Amino acid sequence: MKLLIKNGTLVDPVCGLGGVMDILVEDGTITVIGNNLEDSEAQVLDATGLHISAGLIDMHVHLRDPGLTYKEDILTGSAAAARGGVTSIACMPNTKPVADSPEVIQYILDKAKENCGVRVLPIGALSVGQKGETLTDAKALREAGVVAISDDGVPVQNANLMRDALLRANRSKLTVLSHCEDDDMVRGRSVNEGRVSRQLGLPGRPAIAEELMAMRDAMLAEETRTAVHICHVSTANTVNIIRQFKRKGVKITCETCPQYFTLTHEEILRQGTLAKVNPPLRATKDKEGILAGLKDGTIDCIVTDHAPHSAEEKAKPLTEAPAGMVGLETSLALALTYLYHTGEMSLNDIIQKMTINPAKILGVRMGTLSLGAPADFTLFDLNERWIVDPEQFASKARNTPFTGMELQGKVKYTIVGGKIIYKD
C-alpha cells in the first residue's frame, strides 16, 4: 500500500527538514521525501496549508484496561489519542490486575490489535501489585513487550527498593519512570499547600514532597549510573534539581504536562474537582519554573498523564474525588496555544518534546521523518481556532478543566504505518 502526502510543511527537529515538501510512503515506512513527487499507484493526500510532524508519542497515559474500563479502555483511549494526533501511547500499569506480569502485558498487546491503529506501548509495574515490597521480574516484562517500568500513581517509598529496581532495569535495558512524592507528606491531601489550601481550610500537598523524592532518585541515578525518568514535574525547584544533575552528566530525564504550564492552583477555586490532579496544580512561580525548564531543555518531554474518571467520581467532594484529567485530545493544541503562539518556544522544540525525545527515553524507533522510519505522522493546522467541547471527545471521560477554552492549532489527520486513522 502506498500513500503520497503532497504539499505539507515539514517539521522535523531530528533531520532538520522544513519547508513545503511531499512524502511517499510504501508498506508502512517513509521511502521518499522531496518535491513534485508522483506515483500513480499511491493514495494521494493533499496537505496544503498543513504542518506535518512525526506522529506524537505520549509516554504517560492511563488506559484503565484491564479492570477499570468504565473509565476508559484500550479502544476508546486509542481513539482519543488519534483525535489528538498521538500515534503511540505508553500506558501505565495501575490497572486491575496490575500490569506486573507477562500475562497482563499480553492482554494489553492483544487488545491493542483491535484498536483504531494507534501503537500501544505497555509499561510494566516496578513492584508486584504496586505494593512497593517486591520487585517484578524486569527481564520477563521486557521480553513480554514493556518499554519501561514504573509504579506511577504509587510512589516508591523504599529507597533501597528503588535502587535495586534501577540496577535491575539497567541490566534489562529499561528506563525507570518515577512518580516523585513522599507519600507520608501528601496522603489524604487534595490541593497544593499554599494560599488556596488555606482559603479552603484544607491540609495541602507541599511542593517539598515532590522535590525530596526527585533529589533522592537523581542521587540514585548518579550512584547507580542508571537512567531514571521523573514523571509529571510540577514545581520550580524540581526543575532546578534536575537541571543541576543533568549538568553533572547524570542519566536523568523528565516530563511535564500541559496543565502545569497553563494553570495554577487558583483553578481549584473555579472548577473544583476538575482541576484536581496528582501532583496538584501549583503556584504561579512554579508554572513559571516549568516554562523555564521547557525553554532551556531541562524538561525533555510534554506528556498528558491522561487520567480518565467517571462523572460520578468527579462529582464527589474535593477531598474524596479522584485526582486526574483527560488530556490526549487537547495536548498538542494546548502546547501550540501557550508555547508557540505566545512566542515562548519554537515549533521545532515543541515537536521534539512530543516525538523524538520520548522515543529515545523509551528506546523505540519512532519520532522522526527520516527515510526508512515508520510512517507515523501528525498533520495539523497551526492556526485554526476551536473550542474545547468534551462532549465531542472520543474518550469515555469528560474530566477536563479546559472546557469552553479557545485553542489555536488543530489536528486534521493522524496517520500510523501509512494508514489514515483519523481525519477531522
Active-site residue set: 305
Residue 17 pLDDT greater than 90, yes or no: no
Interatomic CA distance for residues 83 and 330, integer angstroms: 9
What does the pLDDT read at residue 358?
Answer: 98
Q: Which domains are delineated in the chain?
A: 2-51+374-423 (2.30.40.10), 56-362 (3.20.20.140)
What does the pLDDT read at residue 204?
Answer: 97
Is residue 124 very low, low, confident or very high in pLDDT (cuts 50, 70, 90)?
A: very high
Is residue 1 very low, low, confident or very high in pLDDT (cuts 50, 70, 90)?
A: confident
Interatomic CA distance for residues 253 and 301, integer angstroms: 8
What does the pLDDT read at residue 138?
Answer: 96
Residue 26 amino acid letter: E
Average pLDDT, the chain: 97
What does the pLDDT read at residue 68?
Answer: 98
Interatomic CA distance for residues 244 and 252, integer angstroms: 10
Predicted confidence (pLDDT) per residue in 279-305, tens digit: 999 999 999 999 999 999 999 999 999
Quick one: DSSP state of residue 215? H
Interatomic CA distance for residues 222 and 228, integer angstroms: 9
C-alpha cell, 60: 504517560
Residue 209 amino acid letter: A
What does the pLDDT read at residue 16?
Answer: 86
Predicted confidence (pLDDT) per residue in 328-366, tens digit: 999 999 999 999 999 999 999 999 999 999 999 999 999
Q: What is the percent of the chain where pLDDT is above 70?
A: 100
Is residue 91 very low, low, confident or very high in pLDDT (cuts 50, 70, 90)?
A: very high
Interatomic CA distance for residues 277 and 354, integer angstroms: 21
Average pLDDT of the residues in 239-256: 98
Helices (H), 152-226: 159-171, 183-186, 195-200, 207-224
What does the pLDDT read at residue 193?
Answer: 98
Q: What angle do CA 306, 307, 313 make, to 5 degrees?
A: 155
Is residue 105 very low, low, confident or very high in pLDDT (cuts 50, 70, 90)?
A: very high
Predicted confidence (pLDDT) per residue in 373-399, tens digit: 999 999 999 999 999 999 999 999 999
Interatomic CA distance for residues 350 and 347, integer angstroms: 5
What does the pLDDT read at residue 15?
Answer: 86
What does the pLDDT read at residue 146?
Answer: 98
Predicted confidence (pLDDT) per residue in 177-190, tens digit: 999 999 999 999 99
What does the pLDDT read at residue 18?
Answer: 87
